[in-house]
Amino acid sequence: MTRTRCDRTPAWTALKTAFDSTGRAFDLRAAFASGAGRFEAFSQSAPHVFADLSKNLIDSATEQLLLDLARQTGVEQHRDAMFAGENINTTEQRAVMHWLLRTPPADPSMPAQSVHRHMAETLHEVHRTLDAMLAYAQTVRSDEGITDVVNIGIGGSDLGPQMAVLALDEFVQSGKRFHFVSNVDGHELARVLERVKPASTLFLIASKTFTTIETMTNARSARRWFEANGGTDIARHFAALTTNVAAARAFGIRTTFGFWDWVGGRYSVWSAIGLPLAIAIGPQAFREFLGGAHEMDEHFRTAPLARNLPVRLGLLDVWYRNFHGFTSRSIAPYHSALRRLPAYLQQLEMESNGKRVDAQGEALPYGTAAVLWGEPGTNGQHAYFQMLHQGTDVVPVEFVAVKKPKHDLAGHHRLLLANGLAQAQALMVGKVDAGGHRHFPGNRPSTFLLLDELTPASLGALIALQEHRVFVSGAVWGINSFDQWGVELGKLLATDIEPRLASGDVSGLDGSTAGLLQRLRAP
């Protein structure tokens, strides 16, 4: 499929003109004052998520131009190619089909299936693996002798399941504790091992190739600890989430669950990598998690662009990054269970769209992924919101709130929601103060995402929404959102430096690296 890069479209030129004429000086307060229907025009419902986009620096004319940009860059065709199983990951010649992991089994009574006929066999394999994984998860849940589950993985093999287990804590089975080890820094693993016992611990080793250096270093250390402290049945106390069954068997593992090369790490929580979550919340709730994501897939696949929430969010990201020049976005989840959501979204967006060349390898003359960062509310209010309100940089904020709490502590949730609404309002309206120090300029944009409840289904929908939003902005920018070559060079150089730390050899190193290495070796 031929793709037209955004800066080579008529819509891009029209957007530059629109920004210069009205966008640069756009004022939210004036927009609300002059448009009684602004909230209705710039808010919408999608599966399990309500989105208020009305506090963003955009009007209907600009959104129409952005929709033109999506059409002219082939966003719809690129989306359809993904759902058709085409190799849209062109640098690795792979399909991108994480969405298939949450597609229900083909039902002959339903003629309008989103999955194409030639994928039927793959879908059958997906569900065979899912059924086996969930059966194992139930076995672990029923085993009262297992009290602790330790997931050892890194990147997408850690961030996704860890974020989801924390987010769905209210659904987690009592009597089991969940731990996540990702960093090769031994302090992390050592702290977890201090809290568990070999006889009651299950280790999950999550590595597609079973060669990831951080994961395998931690796995081997965990096995040594297990054996040194009386552990005798590695086959019972270790399982692997990998496609390298032979390497897992050589390690002593007999229980393995695989996945496919069309599943990228940051999109893998729906696969066997989600086993910690399945053990935590149970098979039925895990299926609900997949179901919520599938509902959002169908919304993205079928909704008209103008009422397609992932499309609207992705285009807004392009508007801010390439026309307003905003370089970051703050994620503010007003729910403590979503405290790892910012870290999860960092990988999802920055590893996907942090690219400097287009899909043909040509250097880009415009910016791509924004820097994502954040903390849960109300903690962030007492940390970095000072900069959001009065700093020299404008940072769009994305609030995520949940209507119904899972606790019965009087007054807490109402106060939490009041703070979230107030912060979004304050960013927009500001406050005039002639003295300067207490002046709030206002007109600072935000998006408000609202879930009715935090459930497996709504969390699945929220994650899928963010995945597709990243897809849209990447498609507009003309990049490959599904490779990650930028993580390779540092890992390669680390394999050269590690033996030098033992030998002291600094030949061929730059002066800074050599100096630091010598200082680290000094008594």
Is residue 398 annotated as a catalytic residue, yes or no? Answer: no
Neighbouring-strand partners of residue 451: 402
Judge contact between 219 and 203, C-beta under 8 A.
Answer: yes
Q: b/e for 356-367, b at 16 or more Cβ within 10 A?
A: eebbeeeebeee
Helix or strand (DSSP H, E) at 96: none
d(CA 140, CA 345): 30
For residue 416 the two structure tokens come to 């939490």
Helix or strand (DSSP H, E) at 297: helix 283-302
Judge contact between 423 and 430, C-beta under 8 A.
Answer: no
Q: What is the DSSP string of 151-211?
A: EE--THHHHHHHHHHHHTGGGSPTT-EEEEE--SSHHHHHHHHTT--GGGEEEEEE-SSS-
For residue 328 the two structure tokens come to 């970051």
The Cα diameter of the chain in Å comes to 73
Helix or strand (DSSP H, E) at 520: helix 511-521
Among residues 288, 295, 351, 375, the one annotated as catalytic is 351
d(CA 205, CA 226): 14
Question: Crossing angle, helix 75-83 and helix 60-72, to 10 degrees?
Answer: 60
Please state, in angstroms and as integers, the Cα–Cα distance from residue 469 to each residue in 246, 353, 449, following that order. 38, 11, 13
Taking phi over 0 as left and psi of -120 to 50 as alpha, with beta for the rest, 363 belongs to beta
Judge contact between 103 and 28, C-beta under 8 A.
Answer: no
Torsion, Cα of 241, 247, 251, 254 (10° steps): 60
Report the candidate in 199, 200, 122, 204 with the shortest Cα–Cα distance to residue 161.
204
Among residues 116, 124, 382, 439, the one annotated as catalytic is 382
Q: List the 177-181 sheet strands across, edge first.
A: 177-181, 148-152, 201-206, 238-241, 255-257
Judge contact between 467 and 347, C-beta under 8 A.
Answer: no
For residue 368 the two structure tokens come to 């791509």
Is residue 176 annotated as a catalytic residue, yes or no? Answer: no
302 burial class (0-12, 13-18, 19+ CB within 10 angstroms)? exposed
Is residue 491 annotated as a catalytic residue, yes or no? Answer: yes
Dihedral of alpha carbons 472, 50, 391, 61, sign: positive
d(CA 315, CA 312): 5
Active site residues: 351, 382, 491
